[in-house]
Structure 1
Amino acid sequence: MAEITNFRGESTPNNPADDAEASVKDLIARVGDRVRKARERRGIPRRVLSEISGVSPRYLAQLEAGEGNISIGLLQRVAVALDHRIEWLVGEDDPWTSDAMRVADLFRVANTEVQQTVLQALNPEPEQVMRAQRICLVGLRGAGKSTLGARLGEVLDVPFVELNAEIEEQSGMPVDEVMALYGQEGYRKLEAQAVSRVIATHETLILAVAGGIVAEPETYKSLLSNFHTIWLRASPAEHMDRVRAQGDERPMAGNPEAMEQLKSILKSREALYDKARAQLDTAGQTIDASLASLLELVKERGFITQK
């Protein structure tokens, strides 16, 4: 039992009720912190979580602030009194007979090397499972991500999503306004949240992302882990010509060095794009020819299995 020192300098046993109260506060704070982190990792706003769960936004705010339902605290008091972790009381399995609970306890106290060995044994093909039947098209502007992605989605009868559209829906404003209001850092944060949201809500889809996403290590790592990534390539001149053909003159407007800058960007990102699981060169190809090559690549690699 813990001891405290009184005003005379004497050590006296701490009150068990105080220990229980501290344990309750720690639990409620821990639960709130985990709820908030899980929500942020999936990129789900609190109001959306409220709609999905049926729990009021006010209660969710209290929960994340560490002011959750006191019944959790009362349960923790019982667990402390019984000298057991609260997981033993809330789990579906009988802690006295369950092999799963015994393994969980052994795993918790094992060293890192043993834990990694166990994880690999239980999940021998995690990457394939994580990627499901999601395809992500990466590459510079003008590579054909939006055009080919939409056409591929139609042929395979799967959803096509542009990540910037997800960002706009989440923020309630066009990407240009997001950049103007929040800057590059704010945009990248929304971009990462949008990726997490797409992963959480789609097992099968074609996703097109902005060219610069590969320069964000954590976000790109998430794409590589959770999608079958395909780098759509083209020559610098074709990148530029295609963007201008779409009516966007900004790349060349008042900037005679635009082409050299584009080449420099492409060169700096080549090693990152090269991490994609597959590549498709669309240089000199018509849209139909590129689509046929992309479809063949997807089928050969088994990225999406048609019913």
Structure 2
Amino acid sequence: MSEITNFRGDSTSQSGSDLAEASVSALIARVGERVRKARERRGIPRRVLSEISGVSPRYLAQLEAGEGNISIGLLQRVAIALDHRIEWLVGEDDPWESDALRVADLFRSASSDVQQTVLRALNPEPKEVLRAGRICLVGLRGAGKSTLGRLLGKELGLPFVELNHGIEEQAGMPVAEVMALYGQEGYRKLEAQTVQRIIATHDALVLAVAGGIVAEPDTYNTLLSHFHTVWLRASPVEHMERVRAQGDERPMAGNPEAMEQLRSILTSREALYGKAEAQLDTSGQSVEASLEQLRALVEERGFLG
């Protein structure tokens, strides 16, 4: 009897092991197929996905073929690069048959006005709740966003993030290389993804963004909705002097019309910068004085609740 009992026990154990192995194999195959499908739907070559996610092309090829037992950490990086939730890649239900993904695709291709209408309908929370304790400094280069943002974050005990550094972290390369490889369109896509990632991971921080982000309606509207935005202003002459004081002579090098071009950029973006929740003119101000005014503005407006 004992021999029969032992035999049945071993058989049951082996059967359970086989089922588990088959389940794991099915999961790996499912994840690989969905990664490939998501990549193809977005028209992203595997090489580009590798550069954005930091996962090697060979590993991605194995993954898509159902042969790669990828770690959760690497899969999360692939999901972020594909602008997907990781649950969509591992769940048993086919995400491309779900209403949620169809709605997401429609939302992504809709105009900014339509997106804002949908957001208000789906998430009718007041702006103060959506913005939480996030502060975003906007303005042209040389306004003091990086300097004042870093100091303000230190005084308030908040993390300070420069959006371009976040883009470099996500892309795994300097912004200059991102622009060279993917062009303006690729950079703007990474910029939008990085903003969304920051919103998802920070309820309170100080963020400094590049001056041209206001010309991207969707991304700028996201900033206006989810951050307390402050436009740091300065005169054109001070903008130029501050950039040159940082050791960057490019704005003037071989370009006698650089100042006039700068004035034109400021004029063209003034209405966009003016959408910010608050403004602070740093012209003629020391760093200490500007910081004191910025901190007072944050307190008076109740940006931190």
Query: TM-score interval w.r.t. the shorter chain?
Result: 0.5 to 0.7
Q: Pairwise CA RMSD of aligned residues?
A: 4.0
| Structure 1 residues 72 and 172: alpha-carbon distance in aligned structure 2, compared to 1, 3 A threshold | closer
Q: Which runs of 5+ in 2 are unaligned?
A: 1-29, 43-51, 56-69, 100-116
Using the TM superposition, give the Cα deviation of residue 45 of structure 1 relative to its aligned residue in structure 2, in angstroms: 5.1
Q: Does 1:232 align with 2:232?
A: yes
| Aligned partners of 1:50 and 1:57 also within 8 Å | no
CA distance in 2, matches of 1:277, 1:156: 19
Superposed CA deviations along residues 37-87 of structure 1, whole A, max 9, x for unmatched, are 9xx9xxx9597x9635988979xx9x99xx9789648xx9xxxxxxxx99x
Residue number in structure 2 paired with 1:247: 247
Query: SS at 1:154's partner residue?
Result: helix
Identical columns (%): 65
| Structure 1 residues 203 and 241: alpha-carbon distance in aligned structure 2, compared to 1, 3 A threshold | same
Residue number in structure 1 paired with 2:128: 128
CA distance in 1, matches of 2:265, 2:139: 11
Residue number in structure 1 paired with 2:23: none
| Aligned partners of 2:149 and 2:208 also within 8 Å | yes
| Structure 1 residues 70 and 298: alpha-carbon distance in aligned structure 2, compared to 1, 3 A threshold | closer
Give the alignment partner of residue 72 of structure 2, picking from 47, 51, 68: 51
Q: How does 1:44-83 map to 2 (within 5 A)?
A: 51=72, 72=93
What is the one-letter code of the residue matched to 2:140? L
What is the one-letter code of the residue matched to 1:258? A
Q: How does 1:91-240 map to 2 (within 5 A)?
A: 125-240=125-240
Query: SS at 1:158's partner residue?
Result: coil
Superposed CA deviations along residues 206-256 of structure 1, whole A, max 9, x for unmatched, are 000000000000000100000000000000000000000000000000000
Aligned residues: 227
What is the one-letter code of the residue matched to 1:128? E
Using the TM superposition, give the Cα deviation of residue 129 of structure 1 relative to its aligned residue in structure 2, in angstroms: 1.3
The TM-score with structure 1 as length reference comes to 0.64
Using the TM superposition, give the Cα deviation of residue 171 of structure 1 relative to its aligned residue in structure 2, in angstroms: 1.1
Query: SS at 1:298's partner residue?
Result: helix
Using the TM superposition, give the Cα deviation of residue 125 of structure 1 relative to its aligned residue in structure 2, in angstroms: 3.9
Q: Which runs of 5+ in 1 are unaligned?
A: 1-27, 77-84, 87-115
Which segment is superposed worse, 246-255 or 123-132?
A: 123-132
Query: SS at 2:143's partner residue?
Result: coil
What is the one-letter code of the residue matched to 1:295? R
Query: SS at 1:249's partner residue?
Result: coil
What is the one-letter code of the residue matched to 2:146? S
Query: SS at 2:161's partner residue?
Result: strand
| Structure 1 residues 158 and 68: alpha-carbon distance in aligned structure 2, compared to 1, 3 A threshold | closer
The TM-score with structure 2 as length reference comes to 0.64
CA distance in 1, matches of 2:281, 2:221: 23
Structure with greater helix percent: 2
Q: Does 1:288 align with 2:283?
A: no
| Structure 1 residues 57 and 128: alpha-carbon distance in aligned structure 2, compared to 1, 3 A threshold | closer
